[in-house]
């Protein structure tokens, strides 16, 4: 089930991808997940308007480097002209694949006619994809099975994206109203796979190797995309690939060091408190550990707490 995959001439070492996650998919995290076995990693979704206005925070989302090849970025917007210009911009030049977000369920995105809202506007969705394809870049699209329970849009929307020139689609097997809850709709992902010739990546409910096999077996998808499982345990990529994982503390310390290097101490303190809290899931005393972490004021304090709290069984005393 886990195998190399080619997307419009771009070869990925395997078909298990790290999803774009707002607030978490920064460069050090993506780089770490790639080192642990992810075949491709995506930036968090980047606003085309933000780039057009030269927003520095938006530009920082595009930080990348040698530890990430091939490279994938996700963008969002609702203007075909602006989105094509973004694809052609210098900021996106380092990226080998540009993914268009048509699946974000958040109200502030949907109210602007972006994200999931584009599934209810197929004419505009087609225009956006076809214009972005004219940039000459590889274009993929990530979307859901519909807006509300009972919708069955995945197959038709996958075909629309393919007809517009997309080289890959990712289907999140839930409707917008489900957000991230409930089991994925394997049937709709399978219908999307049957409707197109381009690669189809399945997203939703994948937490381990067993889930990967189940998803691919039930849907025929060409690969899977992992989101929240990686936030709680990035070593999931090692498990899926059958590789020996490093210690959780080891990868945390690398992530902390690189987050400081690329984004500075203030950002690193806040970001790595959040990440450590995720990594504590399932450990004895996790609730108290999180309280202590969120009281930390410097990267040094976060590191000291991590050395105490993020200890795997057999490596020392757990929390």
Is the Cα dihedral 6, 103, 84, 120 positive or negative?
A: positive
More confident position, 6 or 283 = 6
Which of 241, 260, 287 is a domain's end point?
Answer: 241
> Left, alpha or beta for 172 (phi > 0: left; psi -120 to 50: alpha)?
beta
Active site residues: 104
Beta-carbon count within 10 A of 148 CB? 9
Q: Is residue 212 part of a domain?
A: yes
**42 vs 71: CA distance, rounded Å:** 7
Q: Is residue 319 part of a domain?
A: no
Band (281; pLDDT cuts 50, 70, 90): confident
Q: Please give the C-alpha separations between residue 186 and each of 116, 181, 244, in angstroms, as whole numbers.
A: 19, 14, 30
Structure tokens at 189: 């992902």
| 279 and 157 in a common domain | no
pTM summary value: 0.94
H or E element at residue 200: strand 200-203
Q: Is residue 318 part of a domain?
A: no
In this prediction, residues 95-104 reach a mean pLDDT of: 98
Which of 225, 241, 257 is a domain's end point?
Answer: 241
Q: Is residue 70 part of a domain?
A: yes
Q: What is the pLDDT of residue 319?
A: 29
Residue 317 has pLDDT above 50, yes or no: no
Tell me which residue range forms the domain holding 302: 248-309
Q: What is the pLDDT of residue 312?
A: 66
Which of 241, 258, 282 is a domain's end point?
Answer: 241
Q: What is the pLDDT of residue 282?
A: 83
Picking from 239, 248, 240, the residue whose alpha carbon sits closest to that of residue 223 is: 240
**61 vs 55: CA distance, rounded Å:** 10
**6 vs 157: CA distance, rounded Å:** 22
For 173-201, what is each residue's pLDDT tens digit?
Answer: 999 999 988 999 999 999 999 999 999 99
Band (313; pLDDT cuts 50, 70, 90): low
């Amino acid at each position: 089930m886990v195998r190399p995959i080619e997307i419009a001439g771009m070869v990925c070492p395997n078909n298990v991808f790290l999803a774009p996650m707002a607030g978490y998919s920064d460069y050090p995290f993506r780089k770490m997940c790639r080192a642990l076995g992810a075949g491709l990693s995506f930036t968090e979704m980047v606003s085309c308007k933000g780039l057009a206005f030269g927003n520095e925070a938006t530009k920082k989302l595009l930080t990348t480097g040698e530890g990430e090849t091939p490279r994938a970025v996700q963008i969002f917007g609702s203007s075909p002209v602006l989105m094509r210009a973004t694809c052609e911009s210098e900021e996106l030049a380092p990226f080998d694949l540009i993914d268009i977000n048509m699946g974000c369920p958040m109200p502030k995105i949907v109210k602007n006619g972006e994200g999931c809202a584009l599934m209810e506007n197929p004419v505009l969705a087609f225009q956006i994809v076809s214009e972005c394809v004219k940039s000459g870049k590889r274009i993929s699209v990530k979307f859901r099975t519909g807006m509300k329970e009972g919708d069955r849009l995945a197959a038709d929307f996958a075909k629309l994206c393919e007809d517009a020139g997309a080289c890959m689609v990712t289907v999140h097997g839930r409707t917008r109203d489900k957000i991230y809850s409930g089991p994925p709709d394997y049937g709709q992902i399978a219908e999307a796979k049957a409707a197109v010739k381009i690669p189809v990546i399945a997203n939703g409910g994948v937490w381990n190797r067993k889930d990967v096999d189940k998803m691919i077996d039930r849907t025929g998808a060409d690969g899977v995309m992992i989101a929240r499982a990686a936030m709680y345990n990035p070593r999931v990529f090692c498990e899926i690939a059958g590789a020996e994982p490093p210690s959780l503390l080891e990868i945390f310390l690398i992530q902390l060091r690189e987050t400081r290097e690329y984004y500075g101490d203030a950002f690193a303190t806040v970001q790595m408190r959040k990440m450590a809290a995720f990594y504590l899931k399932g450990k004895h005393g996790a609730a108290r550990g999180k309280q202590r972490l969120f009281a930390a004021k410097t990267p040094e304090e976060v590191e000291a707490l991590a050395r105490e709290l993020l200890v795997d069984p057999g490596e020392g005393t757990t929390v």
